[in-house]
Amino acid sequence: MTPSETKSIVTLSLLAAFVDGEKHERERAEIKRIAEGLSQADGLNLPTLYQDVLMKRVSLASVAGELKSTESRQLAYEMAVCVCDADGTQSEAERMFLADVRTSLGLDASAAAFSQRAEDIAAVPVATAAGGSAVAAPGTPDSAELDKSILNAAILNGALELLPETLSTMAIIPLQMKLVYRIGQSYGYQLDSGHVKDFLATVGVGLTSQYLEQAGRKLLGGLLGKVGGGLLRGLGNQAVSSGMSFASTYALGHVAKRYYAGGRTLSTQMLKDAFSGVVKEGQSLQTQYLPAIQEKARTLDVGKVLSLVRGA
């Protein structure tokens, strides 16, 4: 993939991020931070792209014109779909935008089918029949069991980060939400997806921005996309993966445990500070658990991502 195609894919992803015009200011700030961080990884001037998108100085037609190969057009569309679905099912504005993207890129019916698979993942509720099986009865949680379930969730999401398919990256967010839900449930709190999203936003985890960061690092590292030997390349090239999915999942789990165990009394700043500290702890542990993450990645069937999210 050429640098021009990579730039166009990222630009299309940013266009998708803002198409519904409803992003909270804190999410916009996170997306800007991600753009600035990713620009250091590949020499691309992504902060300028971010400003161009916000100021409407780029068009879908101009971006589509830079995507020459079938692979780059398909990957661009898949990333745009996942960006639109990262914070929940698509709005009407997002559906119309993605239809225009399919037309502009000259994609066939398989692209619409991919969009439906992404929608199915985004629509999975945080509460499922199997969801409570990994934790103790409400109100009487076993701390050691909770810690084990948090670690297992972090390993799973770290493994998903290594896979080259776009849907594997998208699955990380709903799995994190379900983890927070289960932890709250174990302490007797009946939560819904809105509460869980607010919790993630409070600690500093934006849904759209997190997807952009995960997918952007994989794209700029040459991993994202259905390429020959992609999984093996991912397992062998740890520079591609920052390990942030392991660390952020680990931190979300442990901060949620503190929050609900303490009766939800932690302030917003305390939650942010706690999350920041535990992320660093998770990053230091990622190397220790890397063999387990790699082994998990080898056993994952990307074709069953929806089943994985439903059964978590």
Give per-residue pLDDT as tens, 122-142: 999 998 644 444 444 555 788
Average pLDDT, the chain: 84
Per the CB < 8 A criterion, the answer to whether 226 and 165 are in contact is yes
What does the pLDDT average to over 157-184? 92
Question: What string of DSSP letters covers 75-86?
Answer: HHHHHHHHHHHT
Beta strands in the chain (DSSP E): none
pLDDT of residue 121: 92
Condensed to tens digits (0 to 9), the pLDDT of residues 202-236 reads 998 888 888 888 888 788 776 665 444 444 444 44
- The region that residue 302 occupies, defined by phi over 0 for left and psi between -120 and 50 for alpha, beta otherwise, is alpha
For the cut 50, the answer to whether the pLDDT of residue 75 exceeds it is yes
What's residue 51's pLDDT? 86
| 221 or 59: which leads in pLDDT | 59
Structure tokens at 255: 């901060």
- pLDDT for 7 equals 86
Q: Which residues contact 135 (CB under 8 A, 6 or more apart)?
A: 141, 142, 145, 146, 149, 182, 183, 185, 186
Do residues 21 and 55 make contact, with C-beta atoms less than 8 angstroms apart? no
Convert the pLDDT of each residue in 234-280 to its tens digit. Answer: 444 443 455 789 999 999 999 999 999 999 999 999 999 999 999 99
Distance CA 165, CA 7 (A): 19
Question: Region 72-81: what's the mean pLDDT?
Answer: 93
Q: What is the mean pLDDT of residues 12-22?
A: 85
CA distance 312 to 98: 29
**Per-residue model confidence (pLDDT) at position 182:** 94
| CA angle, residues 176, 194, 244, in degrees to nearest 5 | 25
**DSSP symbols for 154-209:** HHHHHHHHHSSSHHHHHTHHHHHHHHHHHHHHHTT----HHHHHHHHHHHT--HHH
Sign of CA dihedral 72, 73, 75, 80: positive
The two structure tokens encoding residue 5: 């195609």
What average pLDDT does the segment 181-209 reach? 91
Q: Among all chains, which residue has been given the structure tokens 């066939």?
A: 108
Residue 139's pLDDT is what?
59
Whole-prediction pTM value?
A: 0.87
Report the Cα–Cα distance between both ends of the chain, in Å, rounded.
35
* Least confident span in 27-41, 127-141, 166-180, 290-304: 127-141
Which residues, including other chains, have CB under 8 Å from residue 15's CB and lie 6 or more apart? 53, 58, 60, 63, 80, 97
- 21 exposure class (CB count in 10 Å sphere: 0-12, 13-18, 19+): exposed
Would you call 299 exposed, middle or buried from its count of C-beta atoms within 10 A (0-12, 13-18, 19+)? Answer: exposed
The answer to whether residue 104 scores a pLDDT higher than 60 is yes
- Model confidence at 85, in pLDDT bands (50, 70, 90)? very high
Between CA 10 and CA 304 the distance in angstroms is 27
